[in-house]
Structure 1
């Protein structure tokens, strides 16, 4: 479940940036989506954008392709500094063993993490 302070703005963002359309709605205006076999709900909340932790993470077989797709749709990746462990470069951190991860936010301030599948 992901909060949205402006449900219509969220609907537009998920459509334009991620290429997702709701698979259903309910009388409260909540939006149910499906991506990669996982369903999630975007719901109206005044508390949207107040959580600074990662809301959801996705392990991807095709990490580079997904990052390129999101960038081509205007998704901005976050700069994250892990101190001695390093920081993201152009929105992506690469570990010494070659693993990659990246973080981005939706229109409502929810943070998502992407990482390479083993």
Structure 2
């Protein structure tokens, strides 16, 4: 059943137009389809998708809400920084970043906030 079905992330946005601009300008992603008023769908690699919808609850989660896997984290970060994306630095027990990158036995990862305060991740497996 579900184990064979595609999944999609669902992200909140207080201002859907501001969010669409962020994803276009900073991440280079255009909506693949418009849904009902106040929401858009984005298509990414291998059939993955995410829905962005307008709600006042955006930016309230304190956890990673969506992430991409890459084969070259530093290259992706360099390109995104060139577009104005700012990566978070963390220093928690079990999670410390250096220049925005956390390294673990499984690989490395970085996090940034989108225009709506959602925590987004990019990861590279070892």
Same fold (TM over 0.5): yes
Partner of 2:123: 115
TM-score (norm 2): 0.83
Contact 2:111 2:122 in 1 (8 A): yes
- Quote the Cα distance in structure 2 between the aligned partners of 1:86 and 1:7: 31
Partner of 1:94: 103
1:23 to 26, 32, 36: 32
Q: RMSD of the TM alignment (CA)?
A: 1.7
Partner of 1:105: 113
Partner of 1:35: 44
| Partner SS state of residue 98, structure 2 | coil
Partner of 2:86: 76
Q: What are the superposed Cα offsets for residues 46-75 of structure 1, whole Å, 9 maximum, x if unpaired?
A: 100011111012222122211111111110
Q: Which structure 1 residue ranges, 5 or more long, are not aligned?
A: none
- Quote the Cα distance in structure 2 between the aligned partners of 1:2 and 1:86: 24
- Pick the structure with more strand per residue: 2
1:50 to 51, 54, 60: 60
- Give 1:2 deviation, angstroms: 0.3
- Give 1:86 deviation, angstroms: 5.5
Moved over 6 A (4+): none
Contact 2:112 2:121 in 1 (8 A): yes
Alignment of 1:53-68 (within 5 A): 53-68=63-78
**Residue correspondences, number:** 116
- Quote the Cα distance in structure 2 between the aligned partners of 1:21 and 1:98: 31
